[in-house]
Amino acid sequence: MLDNEYLKQLNEQQRQAVLYCDGPQLVIAGAGSGKTRVLTYKIVHLLNLGLPPFRIMALTFTNKAAREMRERIVRMVDSMQARQLWMGTFHSIFSRLLRANAERIGFKSDFTIYDATDSRSLIKLIVKDMGLDDKEYKPATLQSRISMVKNMLISPDDYARNRALRDADDKAQRPLTHIIYKTYWNRCRVAGAMDFDDLLFYTNILLRDNPDVCERYQDMFQYILVDEYQDTNFAQHLIVSQLCKRHGRLCVVGDDAQSIYSFRGANIANILGLSKEYPNLQTFKLEQNYRSTQRIIEAANSLIAKNKKQISKHIFSENAVGDRIPVIQCFSDYEEAYVVANQIASLKARTGCSYEDIAVLYRTNAQSRTLEEALKNGGRRDKHGHTREAIPYRIYGGLSFYQRKEVKDAVCYFRLIINPDDDEALRRVVNTPARGIGDTTMGRVQHCALEQGVSLWHVLCNPDESGLNVNSGIKKKMSAFTDLIKGLIELNNNGASALDVAEEVIARSRLKAVLLGDNTPENISRQENIDELVNAVNDFVLQKEEEGDESNRLTDFLAETSLLTDQDEDDSQSGERVTLMTVHAAKGLEFKNVIIVGVEEDLFPSAMSSDTLAGIEEERRLLYVAITRAMQNCVITYATSRYRNGQTNLCVMSRFISDIDPQYLQMSATSSSFAGTQRDVPSFSPRPPRPSVEYRRSLERPAQPASPQSSRPLAASAAMPGDFVTHTVDEVSEGCIINHSRFGQGAITTIDTSGTDAKIVVDFGDVGVKTLLLKFAKFKIL
């Protein structure tokens, strides 16, 4: 494209950013402002100015982003030019540089690249070779630690001399981490292999220790462009600085308001401090949002304005004004899930949108469990107890709750307790957590079982009788395992509830205990998933008990769970589906309708982030990202109670909701707005249900200061757990309004005293109609 016709497709801010080529520039690209278009047109403009394509380096974080940019460029210039661009991810581009200069850093050009699985496997082997306990020296934790220090450009020798790092390892009871790092480093070199972090580490070494190579690439790459600069770490930032040091022709694009990956090593200071590194830096701000309604953008602006460390900007939209953002107070996480399901069904019916147009965003993966169950149930039950059609969904970038490894491990323990001859369940848990019964032993057990036509369990319980050829040490380990399972079987057979058995399984098997002390994000998520499984069992037991249904044993829970997992398979084959995902996974995506759940203190913001200003500001940026995924409608929900760690905990509304200018919000409280036996589902409509007096007063109080030291935001009206008690038939009447410990607020429609035990029928609105045994149901009469 030799003419400048493409420039007419840009707004004035975009056009100026594309045309400027005289020095370093920072393009602050607000959410939905056309960032990819600017990067693409910038490259096309450079080509039209006569810069050879092989002199342009464009760095991205994902292959998808690089591919999308290249495809756009191909449509605008000669395809040969597009192919000659040095465009790709940091890792792919730098691996090319390293292969071309491998001998300078002591490698061969055909070095292997280890992925995360290869890396962890090698670390696991090193721990084993050193005779260390892998419960103390967990490979995942070590891998995360090594990755962190490599991205800080700390070599094994530097690590060994660093007192602060060594002290931290001593405190974590992993004093030999520096030796493991050194061993890992050496074994990778002997194997002629680099992991992903090495690609950045060795590129820095190559440029630092070989001035001629550095100068060659500085001359070769006359223009360097970097996407998502707010997500760069120290190693990436330093490479970019080295490559453009001589000419300063650098264009970085990013948005400090969307910096949410510090746990991966991203350093927001890279983008905030760019003007200090380049005094002649020109900053261009893409402030027009093409994605969202005006109210969504203004709400997001008012939220992020509370952050102190940021580049000033005012994002605006010329789209429709749009509706205010509903903020729905739910009584419990259980009710919240059904509110979400009803929101989805109501929205689809009212607007005719597709399920594909709706996303539900949450802070942690464990939150998906109640949402999944509510969507499978289709939301609200009618007065006859019938449910609507299930709402199809998908878990974006992950597995549905009951398909996650740690959940499946625990469920397989449950299965084995019910049926010890379940070979598939036994294979999964016999060495989970590791107890020294490895593949070789299980291969022999399998051989004996097949020869004699018996189960694996039979062989494990009777190794001598089965002719199993293993030493006494292995037999002792097998005996410990079978004793564990037999003890749990006895507990279950003696009439223990599903909850009692589940809690004992988690405790005795040490499924959760082996995860404690490892605070990597992945490991914390696994712990939360195990806790949520216990919550699921507790929900099951309580519901069965209150409904007078005696099928509350572990076998009954498994029967219900198996139906849920069967539905997972069905959902995976369906067409349009609602997307469930974490906010982190949603970055870069957009949906017509977004529902953000669990916006409560200690959840969003997370408890781990509440101790520092930097942590709170990143959590606030995370909610900003969540809100700006929405194109037409956004809704926020939170619960005033949430079941965690075996008990109901009171929750308070997140301080971030108070940060948002109230003129852009529509406050509504489901549990406090109940009237009679019917109530409207709070939707995206402009007229909210009427909150309780206490709740309205709480909203009229001044918003809390936006700092981690401030007092917590005021909770909405909520009863204490101790307020929920059982009641006699004389204490209730038809039409009576109650507050239930799990289902929230409802109206008693019928009292049945015909049987042995009195029952009440309660319409809980969003959650549906429930029949409860009075002697078990715990509620507060309002």
Q: Residue 762: which CATH number?
A: 2.40.10
Omega before residue 702 within 30° of 0, cis: no
Buried/exposed code over 227-266 (b: 16+ C-beta within 10 A; e: otherwise): bbbbbbbbbbbbbbebbbeeeebbbbbbbbbbbbbbeebb
Report yes or no on 730 lying in a domain: yes
Number of neighbouring beta carbons within 10 Å of residue 278? 18
522 is catalytic: no
Buried/exposed code over 536-575 (b: 16+ C-beta within 10 A; e: otherwise): bbbbbbbbbbbbbeeebbbebbbeebeebeebbeebeeee
Show the tokens assigned to 569.
């398979």
Do 361 and 384 lie in a common domain?
A: yes
Do 89 and 220 lie in a common domain?
A: yes
For the whole model, what pTM was predicted? 0.76
> Could you say which of 13, 81, 177, 258 is catalytic?
258
Report yes or no on 428 lying in a domain: no
Report yes or no on 523 lying in a domain: no
> Could you say which of 15, 348, 544, 629 is catalytic?
629
Q: Are 63 and 94 contacting, i.e. CB atoms less than 8 angstroms apart?
A: no
- In DSSP terms, which residues pair with 649 in a beta bridge? 642
Do 363 and 254 lie in a common domain?
A: no
| Spatial CA neighbour of 61 closest among 260, 194, 216 | 260
Report yes or no on 46 lying in a domain: yes
> Could you say which of 169, 195, 197, 228 is catalytic?
228
Total domains in the fold of the chain: 4
Do 137 and 45 lie in a common domain?
A: no
Would you state the pLDDT for residue 700? Answer: 35
d(Cα 370, Cα 535) in Å, to the nearest integer? 10
DSSP-assigned letter for residue 602:
B
Pick from 714, 736, 754: which residue ends a domain?
714
**Local structure of 162: helix, strand or coil:** coil
Q: Are 621 and 262 contacting, i.e. CB atoms less than 8 angstroms apart?
A: no
**Amino acid letter, residue 653:** M
pLDDT block averages, 10 residues each, the chain of length 782 = 74 95 94 92 93 95 86 86 89 92 91 86 92 89 94 96 94 94 93 91 96 96 96 96 94 95 91 94 96 97 95 94 95 92 90 93 92 81 57 85 88 90 87 90 89 89 88 92 94 88 92 80 86 87 74 79 52 72 93 97 90 92 97 96 78 96 89 35 32 33 34 40 75 84 82 79 80 81 83
409: CB partners within 8 A, 6+ apart = 428, 429, 432, 511
Would you state the pLDDT for residue 115? Answer: 83
Do 665 and 592 lie in a common domain?
A: yes
- Which ranges constitute the DSSP H helices of 352-398? 368-376
Do 206 and 57 lie in a common domain?
A: yes
| Spatial CA neighbour of 686 closest among 292, 299, 325 | 325
CATH number at residue 246: 3.40.50.300
d(Cα 538, Cα 545) in Å, to the nearest integer? 11
Decide the pairing of beta strands 769-773 and 759-763.
antiparallel
Report yes or no on 640 lying in a domain: yes
258 is catalytic: yes
| Spatial CA neighbour of 261 closest among 625, 656, 611 | 625
> Could you say which of 35, 306, 380, 428 is catalytic?
35
- In DSSP terms, which residues pair with 647 in a beta bridge? 644
> Could you say which of 227, 373, 568, 618 is catalytic?
227
89 is catalytic: no
Would you state the pLDDT for residue 562? Answer: 64
d(Cα 71, Cα 40) in Å, to the nearest integer? 10
Q: Are 564 and 372 contacting, i.e. CB atoms less than 8 angstroms apart?
A: yes
State the first-to-last Cα distance of the chain, in angstroms, to the nearest integer.
Answer: 72
Do 186 and 56 lie in a common domain?
A: no
Q: Which domain range does residue 209 map to?
A: 5-102+201-286
Report yes or no on 682 lying in a domain: yes
Show the tokens assigned to 187.
């074994």
Do 706 and 601 lie in a common domain?
A: yes
Report yes or no on 340 lying in a domain: yes
**Amino acid letter, residue 16:** Q
Do 602 and 683 lie in a common domain?
A: yes
504 is catalytic: no
Pick from 252, 286, 320: which residue ends a domain?
286
Do 694 and 594 lie in a common domain?
A: yes
227 is catalytic: yes
Report yes or no on 676 lying in a domain: yes
Do 86 and 205 lie in a common domain?
A: yes
Do 216 and 257 lie in a common domain?
A: yes
CATH number at residue 163: 1.10.10
Pick from 259, 286, 313: which residue ends a domain?
286
382 is catalytic: no
Show the tokens assigned to 355.
């399920």
Would you give the distance in Å from CA 510 to the centre of its chain?
Answer: 24
Contacts of the segment 550-554: beta carbons below 8 A, 24+ positions apart: 552/497, 552/498, 553/492, 553/497, 553/498, 554/414, 554/417, 554/418, 554/492, 554/498, 554/501, 554/502
> Could you say which of 36, 84, 222, 677 is catalytic?
36
